[in-house]
Chain A
Amino acid sequence: MSEHRSDERANGIDDAQHDVVVVGAGIAGSLVAKRLTQAGFSVLVLEAGPATAAAFDDYSNHVQAFYAATSKGPESAWPPAAGVPQPDTADIRTGDGYFVQAGPLPYGSTYTRLQGGSTLHWLGVSLRMLPEDFQLQSSYGVGRDWPLDYWALEPFYGEAEHEIGVAADVVDQTHLGLEFAPGYDYPMHRIPPSYSDRLLAAAVDGMTVNLGEDQLALKVRNYPAARNSMPRGDYRPVGAVDQRRAGQGDGHGLARDLGQRCAGNTACTPICPIQAKYNAGKTLAQADGRTLQVVAQAVASKIQLDPVTGEVRGIEYQRYDDPASARHTVHVARGRVYVLAAHAIENAKLMLASGLGSASGMLGRNLMDHPSIYGWGLASHPVGPYRGPLSTSGIDDLRGGPFRARHAALRVDVGNDGWRAPTGAPDSTVTDAVANRGLFGTALREHLRSTLSRHVRFSLNVEQLPSRSNRVSIDPRYVDLLGNPRPVINYDIDEYTLAGMAAAKRVYQEVFRRAGIKDCTDPEQGVWFPSVAYQGDTLHYHGMGHFAGTHVMGNDPAQSVVDTDQRCWEHRNLFLVGSGSFPTMGTSNPTLTLAALALRTARHLAKELST
Chain B
Amino acid sequence: MTSRRDLFIDLSVELTGYSRVQLLGTGMSERYLQALDEVLPDGMVDEFLATSAALPTMTIDAILRSETWGPVTRNIMILWYCGRWTALPDSWRAVHGTRPADSNHVISADSYQAGLQWVAAGAHPAGARQQGFGAWTVAPEEAAS
Contact = CB atoms under 8 A, between A and B. Distances in A.
Interface of A: 63-64, 66-70, 72, 192-195, 198, 229, 261-267, 270-271, 273-274, 382, 384-389, 392, 416-418, 420, 426-427, 429-431, 434-435, 438, 440-446, 448-450, 452-453
Nearest to A453: B143
Contacts, number: 170
A382 B106 contact: no
A198 B137 CA distance: 8
A193 B124 CA distance: 18
Contacts of A453: 121-122, 140, 143-144
A431 B78 contact: yes
Nearest to A65: B109
B31 to A, nearest CB: 13
Given A68-B106, A382-B144, A430-B81, A266 B121 contact: no
A440 B14 contact: yes
A453 B145 CA distance: 11
Contacts of B21: none
25 contacts: A68-B112, A69-B106, A70-B84, A194-B136, A195-B137, A263-B132, A264-B124, A264-B136, A265-B127, A382-B122, A382-B144, A426-B117, A426-B118, A426-B121, A431-B82, A431-B86, A440-B14, A441-B14, A441-B16, A443-B17, A444-B17, A444-B77, A448-B81, A449-B121, A452-B143
A325 to B, nearest CB: 26
Given A261-B133, A387-B124, A452-B120, 19 more contacts: A70-B106, A194-B137, A263-B131, A266-B123, A266-B124, A382-B143, A384-B140, A384-B143, A385-B121, A386-B123, A417-B126, A426-B82, A426-B115, A430-B117, A440-B17, A449-B142, A449-B143, A452-B117, A452-B143
Contact of A195 (B15, B60, B104, B136): B136
Contacts of B68: none
Given A64-B109, A264-B135, A387-B131, A452 B123 contact: yes
A31 to B, nearest CB: 27
A66 B106 CA distance: 11
| Residue of B110, B113, B116, B133 with most partner-chain A CB within 10 A | B133
Contacts of B144: 382, 384, 453
Interface string B91-119: 00000000000001110111011011110
Interface residues of B, number: 49
Contacts of B128: 67, 265, 273
B138 interface: yes
| Residue of B81, B127, B136 with most partner-chain A CB within 10 A | B136
B131 A382 contact: no
Interface in B62-82: 64, 73-74, 77-78, 81-82
A420 B120 contact: no
B123 A445 contact: no
A70 B136 contact: no
B140 A387 contact: yes
Contacts of B139: 195, 382, 384
A264 B117 contact: no
Given A387-B135, A440-B14, A266 B120 contact: no
A233 to B, nearest CB: 19
Contacts of B110: 67
Contacts of A270: 127
A398 to B, nearest CB: 25
Interface of B: 14-18, 60, 64, 73-74, 77-78, 81-82, 84, 86, 104-106, 108-110, 112-113, 115-118, 120-124, 126-128, 130-140, 142-144
A426 B84 CA distance: 12
Contacts of B117: 426-427, 429-430, 448, 452
Contacts of B133: 229, 261-264
Contacts of A420: 126
B61 to A, nearest CB: 9
A68 B108 contact: yes
Nearest to A450: B143
Given A194-B137, A382-B143, A445-B17, A427 B82 contact: yes
B111 to A, nearest CB: 9
Contacts of B123: 266, 384-387, 452
A426 B83 CA distance: 12
Contacts of B105: 70
Contacts of B118: 386, 426
A435 B72 CA distance: 11
Contacts of A431: 78, 82, 86
Given A387-B124, A442-B17, A274 B136 contact: no
Nearest to A263: B130
Contacts of B17: 440-446
B106 A193 contact: no
Contacts of B132: 263-264
A195 B143 CA distance: 13
Nearest to B108: A68
Contacts of A386: 118, 121, 123-124, 126
Closest 10 CB pairs between A and B? A388-B136, A453-B143, A445-B17, A267-B127, A67-B109, A386-B123, A452-B121, A384-B140, A442-B17, A263-B130
Contacts of A265: 126-128, 130
Nearest to A67: B109
A421 to B, nearest CB: 11
B85 to A, nearest CB: 10
Nearest to B110: A67
A70 B82 CA distance: 11
A518 B60 CA distance: 32
Given A387-B140, A434-B74, A434-B77, A445 B120 contact: yes
Nearest to B129: A265
A440 B136 contact: no
A229 B74 CA distance: 43
A192 B133 CA distance: 9
A266 B126 contact: yes
Contacts of A271: 127
A427 B115 CA distance: 9
A154 to B, nearest CB: 30
B109 A68 contact: yes
Nearest to B13: A441
A193 B77 CA distance: 34
Nearest to A429: B117
Nearest to B144: A382
Nearest to A448: B120
A431 B105 CA distance: 14
Contacts of B122: 382, 384, 387, 449, 452-453
